[in-house]
Chains A and B, each alone.
Chain A
C-alpha cells in the first residue's frame, strides 16, 4: 500500500443537486464544525444530464448517511421524476433530510430564449471556451439575425432598445417571485425573501437559474443552522470569486428599470473561465457564436 489509509469514521452527508450544489458543497466545507462532523459525498447534475440515470445511490450508502441534502422532486427536469421520488422514499428515518430550492429568477434577463445553434453537431467550442453561456439565448438578437442584419446593426439596435417597452418586466418579476414562493412551500431552506430584499443591490443571481455567492451563502447558512452549526463568517463573501459561472450580462435598460446598483452598463461579466466581457462585447461574441 503506497499511502496510509485510515478509516474515516465521520458520518456521511449526501448532497444531491443541480450545478448550484457545487457552491453549496464548497461552502459547507468552509464550516469547521461541519467538516469535523461529516464527510461529504456529492451527486450533481449538469446541463443535459438526467439525475436518475447518472445517480446510483445504494441503500448501503443511504444507511451510512446522517444528513441528506436535496432538491424536492419536480423542481427541475430530472428525467425520471418517479425514480427520484423512489430514491427519496428509500432514505432511512434516522437520516436528517434538508430540502433546498433550485431558484429561478427571470426578471433580469427577460428576453431569454432557447438557443438552437447549440444543437448543431458540427459545432465545436474553441479552446478554453464554454458552451454554457450560450445556453442563454436572446429572443431579440435571434430575431434580428433571422432578418439577416449585420452584427454591428444588431448591436446598435439592441443597445438602443428599452426592453421594458416591449416586455412586461415587472410582470416577469412578479411571476418569478410568485413561482418561487409557491415552490418554496416544499423546501426547508428558503431564498425568495432574501432575493426580493437584495436583488437590486447584490448579485443574487448570475444567470436566471444560477444563484450568486450571496444567495449560496444564505442557503448554506440555513443548512448549517439546521444541523446545529454556526453560520459562515461574514468575511467569507469578500474572499470569494463568484463560484458559479457563466455570469449572464444584464441589458442597460433592465439595470435602469430596476435601479440595480451592483452593475453598470460597463460591468464585465465572467462568461467563461477565459472571457470577462461587457454587455456589448458579449453581444458580439454571442451573435458570432464564438
Chain B
C-alpha cells in the first residue's frame, strides 16, 4: 500500500470498504459524513468497519483510537496518519 496515498484515493478506498461492510453499494461519503448519514453505521457496528479498514489499508488502529472521531474526514486523516506512520 502506497504510504503517501492521496487523500482522495484514501476516501475512494474507504467508500469501497464501507459499501462492502454494510452491504450497501448506495452509500456515499464526504468529509462531513457522520455515522447517522450512513446506512447501518453506528457505534456498535464501528468495530466491523475498523477491522475492514485495518485490512484494506494495512494499518493498525488502537482499541480506543477511533472512539473520538467526529466524521469521515477525521477518519480519513487517521488512516493517512497511520499509513505515513
Task: Enumerate chain A interface residues (CB-CB to B < 8 A).
Answer: 74, 77, 104, 106, 110-114, 116, 136-137, 139-140, 142-143, 146, 167-168, 171-172, 175-176, 178-179, 181-183, 208-209
* Closest residue on chain A to residue B24 by CB atoms: A143
7 other A-B residue contacts (CB within 8 Å) besides A137-B40, A175-B50 = A106-B48, A114-B41, A139-B21, A139-B45, A140-B23, A143-B23, A182-B62
* Closest residue on chain A to residue B66 by CB atoms: A179
A113 lies within 8 A of B47 (CB): no
Within 8 A of A (CB), among B30-85: 35-36, 39-45, 47-48, 50-51, 55, 62-64, 67
* Chain A residues whose CB sits within 8 angstroms of the CB of B50 once the complex forms: 175
B40 lies within 8 A of A113 (CB): yes
| Assembly CA distance A175 to B54 (angstroms) | 12
Shortest distance from the beta carbon of A193 to any chain B beta carbon, whole Å: 16
Shortest distance from the beta carbon of B46 to any chain A beta carbon, whole Å: 9
A112 lies within 8 A of B44 (CB): yes
| Assembly CA distance A210 to B63 (angstroms) | 20
A74, A112, A136 — which one has the most chain B CB atoms within 10 A of its CB? Answer: A112
* Chain B residues whose CB sits within 8 angstroms of the CB of A112 once the complex forms: 44-45, 48
| Assembly CA distance A146 to B48 (angstroms) | 21
| Assembly CA distance A185 to B53 (angstroms) | 26
A113 lies within 8 A of B22 (CB): yes
| Assembly CA distance A168 to B55 (angstroms) | 10
| Assembly CA distance A217 to B39 (angstroms) | 36
Given known contacts A139-B21, A143-B24, A146-B24, is B47 in contact with A172 (CB within 8 Å)? Answer: yes
* Closest residue on chain B to residue A209 by CB atoms: B44
Given known contacts A114-B45, A139-B22, A182-B63, is B51 in contact with A168 (CB within 8 Å)? Answer: yes
Q: 21 A–B contact pairs at CB < 8 A? A: A106-B44, A106-B48, A110-B48, A111-B48, A112-B45, A112-B48, A113-B40, A113-B45, A136-B44, A139-B23, A139-B24, A140-B23, A142-B23, A142-B40, A168-B51, A168-B55, A175-B51, A175-B63, A181-B63, A182-B62, A182-B64
| Assembly CA distance A209 to B36 (angstroms) | 19
| Assembly CA distance A178 to B63 (angstroms) | 6
* Chain A residues whose CB sits within 8 angstroms of the CB of B67 once the complex forms: 74
* Chain A residues whose CB sits within 8 angstroms of the CB of B55 once the complex forms: 168
* Closest residue on chain A to residue B67 by CB atoms: A74
* Closest residue on chain A to residue B23 by CB atoms: A143
Shortest distance from the beta carbon of B66 to any chain A beta carbon, whole Å: 10
* Closest residue on chain B to residue A207 by CB atoms: B44
| Assembly CA distance A3 to B48 (angstroms) | 56
* Chain A residues whose CB sits within 8 angstroms of the CB of B35 once the complex forms: 114
A167 lies within 8 A of B48 (CB): yes
| Assembly CA distance A176 to B50 (angstroms) | 11
Shortest distance from the beta carbon of A39 to any chain B beta carbon, whole Å: 34
A175 lies within 8 A of B39 (CB): no
A104 lies within 8 A of B44 (CB): yes
B23 lies within 8 A of A106 (CB): no
* Closest residue on chain A to residue B68 by CB atoms: A74
Shortest distance from the beta carbon of A139 to any chain B beta carbon, whole Å: 5
